[in-house]
Amino acid sequence: MRVTKKNQQQNGHREIVDAVKALCAEKDIEPEILFNAIEEAMKAAYRKNVSREENAPSNLSVTMDRNTGDVHVFARKTITDELEDPANQITLEEAQKIRPDYRMGDIAEIDVTPKGFLRTAAQTAKQVIMQRIREAEQGRIYEEYSDKENEILTAIVQRVEPKGVYVELGRTEGIMEPSEYMPGEEYHIDDHIKVYVLEVNRTGREMLHGPQVRVSRIHPGLVKRLFEMEVPEIAAGVVQIKSIAREAGSRTKMAVHSTDITIDPVGACVGPRGNRVEKVVDELKNEKIDIIKWSADPAEFIANALNPAHVLSVFVSDTEKACRVVVPDNQLSLAIGKEGQNARLAAKLTGWRIDIKSQSQAAEMFDLPVDDQPMEENLAMGYQALYNEPASPEAMAESGLPELRDLPLELSGEDEDDDTL
């Protein structure tokens, strides 16, 4: 069978169409998206080739037949009486030679397809197809991972560089910047780690293949999501995580609340024989986790937040969102914590500024006897008066406690960034 040049051209046209349709089916892309992109690219290629010619038309359209692959370039010219711009205008007489039904003011389309344009079309189509496929894949990956913001993923360490740790997240790559490393934690190639997704950007300078996903090992949300995975009551919404304050690699405080009075929220998070919290601690490389019971009563919540220290009394100033806490003398260092960590985390967890005083310091401030029992009774009476039921003036007078607004507050909580959720 004799193969003519015309047959070869027709086969070449169809090959482009077949390639577009096959790739669209494989990559789940709408064929029309690629065809439109190819037409736009061929229009740009035509303009580049004829831009130096006189009377080169500026208004163009390129069409590719969706079945045969035939490509045509049309100059779109306005039909007018007088030609002022021959490149973009045409007389009615000339236009009607192309199509008799043209009228004055219509836009006539004149075929200006150059010879040998198939070769240009094929090269352009190939480039556009590959580019659009990459863009479409990246777009789908972006949509997939943008839904995972504020979630945790299992990542595999791919490489460790000064600018960050690059991890495999499945269909794309993530970066954990040094500021998001857990203190004291080392990362090695092929390590499997849980990471918290901070944000997903459509493109990034560091990401040549797909969206940029920024991840973290220090965000409080990592702790929250780990407990959601381990505690069915949290996943079901029966136990709620109200707030988290975290100093990654060292200690975390988490406040929990149960919507069902028959379920202990702290016990649910700890789990039988501590197995639930133990799994979270293992993932966080033995980071200490204090699980405390949340309360709508600020005084009770603050007292719980200072766990493991025992709190005698809490006095609050709602207007300043500040409080003074009194603890036994032997509990002062425990309440404050090493380098102030316990008090600092409690302040972040509750959102209150906290001033901690020992029983002796409070007695001196309140001008009360230092002997333990009367002091505890007086403080307890003050606590009862402030938080449970309004005390009578006689009871307040007997307690010997001045009102909080009359006392100077020396607050230890500083205006730090709030890490609570």
- The DSSP annotation for 62-122 comes to EEE-TTT--EEEEEEEEEESS-S-TTTEEEHHHHHHH-TT--TT-EEEEE-PPTTHHHHHH
Q: Is the pTM of this model over 0.75?
A: no
> pLDDT grade, residue 72 (50/70/90)?
confident
Which tens digits make up the pLDDT trace of 290-313? 999 999 999 999 999 999 999 998
> pLDDT grade, residue 281 (50/70/90)?
very high
Q: Which helix (H) or strand (E) holds 247?
A: strand 239-247
Instruction: Domain ranges for the chain, please list them.
Output: 5-143, 148-217, 219-294, 306-421
Q: What does the pLDDT read at residue 131?
A: 78
Residue 370 has pLDDT above 70, yes or no: no
Residue 278 has pLDDT above 60, yes or no: yes
- The CA-atom distances, in angstroms, between 139 and each of 36, 110, 196, 210, 320 are 18, 37, 22, 8, 49
Separation of alpha carbons 294 and 257, rounded Å: 5
- Per-residue pLDDT, averaged over 182-207, amounts to 84
Separation of alpha carbons 315 and 357, rounded Å: 11
Which tens digits make up the pLDDT trace of 228-275? 999 999 999 999 999 999 999 999 999 999 999 999 999 999 999 999
Backbone Cα Rg of the chain: 37
Do 250 and 218 touch, CB atoms closer than 8 A? no
What CATH code is assigned to 148-217?
A: 2.40.50.140
The CATH class given to the 306-421 domain equals alpha beta
Two tokens, residue 5:
């040049």
> Would you say domain 219-294 falls under CATH 3.20.20.140?
no
Which tens digits make up the pLDDT trace of 77-110? 888 888 888 888 888 888 888 888 888 988 888 8
Q: What does the pLDDT read at residue 67?
A: 85
Which tens digits make up the pLDDT trace of 318-328? 888 899 999 99
What CATH code is assigned to 5-143?
A: 3.30.1480.10
Two tokens, residue 127:
């480039």
Residue 379 CB contacts under 8 Å (≥ 6 apart), including other chains: 312, 313, 326, 359, 362, 401
> pLDDT grade, residue 181 (50/70/90)?
very high
Q: What does the pLDDT read at residue 206?
A: 43
- Per-residue pLDDT, averaged over 152-160, amounts to 94
Phi/psi of residue 348, nearest 5 degrees: -65, -40
Residue 396 has pLDDT above 50, yes or no: no
